[in-house]
Chain A
C-alpha cells in the first residue's frame, strides 16, 4: 500500500491535551483519492488533521507523505495544506494575492505565479473577484478563494476540516462544487473531515469511521452504509433501531420478537436496522402503536412501539401518519445482527 499511497498514517497517536486521545490510527490515501473521516463531535477528527499538518504534535507512530516520514517536520515542510472550517483569508491581501501566497513564500518566479494564479482563478470561477478585498466577499466566495489558495501550490496532501459546516444549502452546493473542481485540478491525496454522512458519501471514495479513538471501519460509501462492520459503526451510519436478544444461529429472539436470521455465532446478539426498514402497512405482520409523528423533508418519521419495543419507523406509501394502533412490516434485507460484546 505504501508504494502507491501519497499519505500514509502508521499507528499514529494524538493526545487531546493531557488525555490519551487517538491511538494507533492507520490509513493510506492514494494520489487523487478522497478519504472522508466521519465521527461524532469530539471524536478527534480535527485533532487528527492538525497532527498530520504538523500544527499539533504526533504522540506516536508516523505520518508518511510521499514516502517520507514527516512526523517531526515543521508544518511548512510537510506538503499538507490544512483548510480550516472557517475560510481564513489574509485580510490585507487581495483575492489574487491570497492565492499567490503559497507560491510567493516558496519563491516561485513571478511569471509562473501569475500563470498559476490565472489557472486557479479560472478553475474555481473566481476571475471576476481577482482584485477584490476578502472582506467584501460572500461566504461561498471566501470558501472558493480559500480552496483556490490551498491548491495553488499543488500540495501532495489536502486536509479539509468540515468545509461545509454552518453553510446555508445554496452555499453548501456552491462550495461542494468548488471542492470537486479543486480536487480535479490535480491528484492530491485528500482527507476530508465531516460529521455529515451524506456529505461524506457525496465526495469521498472511501469513508473512515472514527469512534472511541480508533478508526473502526474504512470502506467505500456503499459498503460502509450497507455492510457496517460492527454494531457501533452500524448505529453511527443510521441503523438507529436496536433490539438486544439471543441468536441460535438461525433465529433471533427478543421478547415477542422472533426473526429468522442466519448468523455465524450463537448467544447474546444485537439486531440493528434503519427506520426505513420498519414501516406502517395495513397488511404488515407486526402489531404496534404510533406514539408520535415528526415531519421532515425526507418524509414523516414515526416513533412507534412494536411488540413491546420503542423504535423509529417510517410511514407507508399510503401515508399513515396518525397516532394510534397500526400494523408494521419489517424488511429483512435491511437487518444487521452482531454478537453483543
Chain B
C-alpha cells in the first residue's frame, strides 16, 4: 500500500471546510440577519438578537399573507412533483427505448424545457394562457410549473430506464406473473425510490419557481418566493432573511428524505 502524503489529507480537509462554508455560510448569514437587530457596517455581528422579525412575519396580516403564500407554494410543489413524476415515468421509459433519430428528437423534446430560461417559457406561454383563461389562476401556474418539471423528470427517468434491468421483469414472467401482475409486486417496489426522487425534484423546481409564477400568475397567485421577493424589493432585509430560511427548509428536508430513501432502498439486483 502506498502511504498517502500528509499534504493530500490536509488539502482535502481544507477543501471540505471550504465546501461546507460555501453551503452553510449563506444560511448562517440569513439566520444572523433574521434574528439580528441594529446590524450596521462595519460591525461583524448584530448589536442585539431578537425574534421580532419572525414574530412579525408570523402574526397579523403579513402572517396570514405569508401562510397563504406558503400553502400555495406547498400545494403547487406537491402537485407538480406528483404529476410530473407520474407523467414522466412512462414517457421516460419510452424515451429510453427509442433508437436512432427518434431518440434524438425525443431527448431534444425533453431537454428543451430544461434548457429554455423560465422567463422565455413564461413569455411564450403567457399569451396562450391568457387566451385560454388560465392566466392568473392556480391551475395555470401549476401547468406552467409542470413544463420544466416534466422536462427534468423525463430526463431523470430516461437515465433510470437506460440502466433498468428488464431481466427482473422476465424472471417474474417466467415464474408465472402476468404482465398485469408484474406491476404491483415487482415494478412498483423497484420504482418506489426513483418515483420519490422524481417527485422531490419536481417539488423543488416548483417550490423555487419565480419567473413562471410571476408571468402566468399575474400577481394573483401568491407563492413564498414571490413574497420573499416583495420583502427584498421593499428593503425589509430581516423579513426577507426569515422568508428565505423558510424557503430553504423544504429543500433541506427533501435532501434528507432522498438520502434516507437511498439508504433504505439501496439494495442492488442480486
Contacts and interface: CB of A to CB of B under 8 A. Distances in A.
Contact of B175 (A55, A74, A142, A153): A153
Contact of A135 (B167, B192, B267): B267
B43 to A, nearest CB: 55
Given A76-B177, A92-B265, A105-B181, A84 B270 contact: no
Given A76-B173, A153-B175, A88 B267 contact: no
Interface string A181-195: 000000000000000
Give 7 closest A-B pairs by Cβ, nearest first: A91-B267, A89-B270, A134-B270, A75-B173, A92-B189, A135-B267, A102-B175
Nearest to A50: B170
A150 interface: yes
B176 A153 contact: yes
A55 B267 contact: no
24 contacts: A75-B174, A76-B176, A81-B174, A82-B170, A84-B171, A86-B167, A87-B270, A88-B168, A88-B171, A88-B269, A90-B168, A90-B185, A90-B189, A92-B190, A92-B265, A104-B185, A105-B181, A106-B176, A135-B267, A137-B270, A145-B270, A146-B270, A149-B175, A153-B176
B178 A76 contact: yes
A120 to B, nearest CB: 13
Contact of A102 (B168, B170, B176, B267): B176
B186 interface: yes
A82 B179 CA distance: 16
Interface string A217-238: 0000000000000000000000
Interface string A43-56: 00000000001110
Interface string B186-197: 100110100000
A135 to B, nearest CB: 4
Given A88-B168, A106-B176, 5 more contacts: A78-B174, A80-B174, A88-B171, A105-B172, A145-B270
B178 A92 contact: no
Nearest to B266: A135
Contact of A134 (B175, B179, B265, B267): B267
Contacts of A133: 267
Contacts of A155: 176
Interface residues of B, number: 24
Interface of A: 53-55, 74-76, 78, 80-82, 84, 86-92, 101-102, 104-106, 133-135, 137, 142, 145-146, 149-150, 153, 155, 159
B185 A142 contact: no
Given A82-B170, A84-B167, A92-B189, A142 B270 contact: yes
Nearest to B177: A105
Contact of A101 (B172, B179, B268): B172
Nearest to B268: A135
Nearest to A101: B175
B267 A76 contact: no
Nearest to A106: B176
Nearest to A53: B174
B165 interface: yes
Contacts of B176: 76, 102, 105-106, 153, 155
Interface in B144-186: 165, 167-168, 170-179, 181, 185-186
B180 to A, nearest CB: 10
A153 B174 CA distance: 11
Contact of A90 (B170, B173, B179, B186): B186
B270 A91 contact: yes
Nearest to A95: B270
Contacts of B268: 91, 135
Nearest to A136: B267
A91 B269 contact: yes
A105 B185 contact: yes
B189 A74 contact: no
